[in-house]
Amino acid sequence: MIAMGSDHGGYRLKEAVKLHLEKKGIDCKDFGAYGEESCDYPLMAQAPCKAVVAGECELALLFCGTGIGISMAANKHKGIRAAVCSDIFSARMARLHNNANVLCMGGRVVGEGLALDIVDAFLNSSFEGGRHARRVGQVDALDA
């Protein structure tokens, strides 16, 4: 199950990605926003991140205007490794080398077609471990 969340600036992109995943048979849990009314990205990051940390969802996809604000909010949650990605290579590497469990994108930055490819790259990649595990462990230790 993939958790999803957005503020008003990322709402349309979240909806496009959700439809894309549903067509692929990937289960999603949408934590809002449910429209384009103004809302606060720090609050919209909370429930999807909590679902990932609790193991209710494997990964999360978060959206705001740039992807930056919601990623900053997501990374305040212990156990979350959120990456803002605007290209396919970064999304793949975020999973392979950094074991990112949250992908953040900007609805005002990334077009829909590219966003779908970025999401696919993120979801179709998995952590390589090995030498990267030590570094990810060092990042996680910063939560202590």
Q: Annotated catalytic residue: which of 39, 49, 57, 64?
A: 64
pTM assigned to the model: 0.97
Are 99 and 81 a contacting pair, CB within 8 Å? Answer: yes
Tens of each residue's pLDDT in the chain, 144 residues: 999 999 999 999 999 999 999 999 999 999 999 999 999 999 999 999 999 999 999 999 999 999 999 999 999 999 999 999 999 999 999 999 999 999 999 999 999 999 999 999 999 999 999 999 999 999 999 988
Reply yes or no on whether 97 is catalytic: yes
Domain boundaries, the chain: 2-141
The CA-to-CA distance between both ends of the chain, in Å, stands at: 28
**CATH of range 2-141; options 3.40.1400.10, 3.20.20.370, 3.30.70.120, 2.60.40.1760:** 3.40.1400.10
Reply yes or no on whether 64 is catalytic: yes
Write down how long the chain is: 144
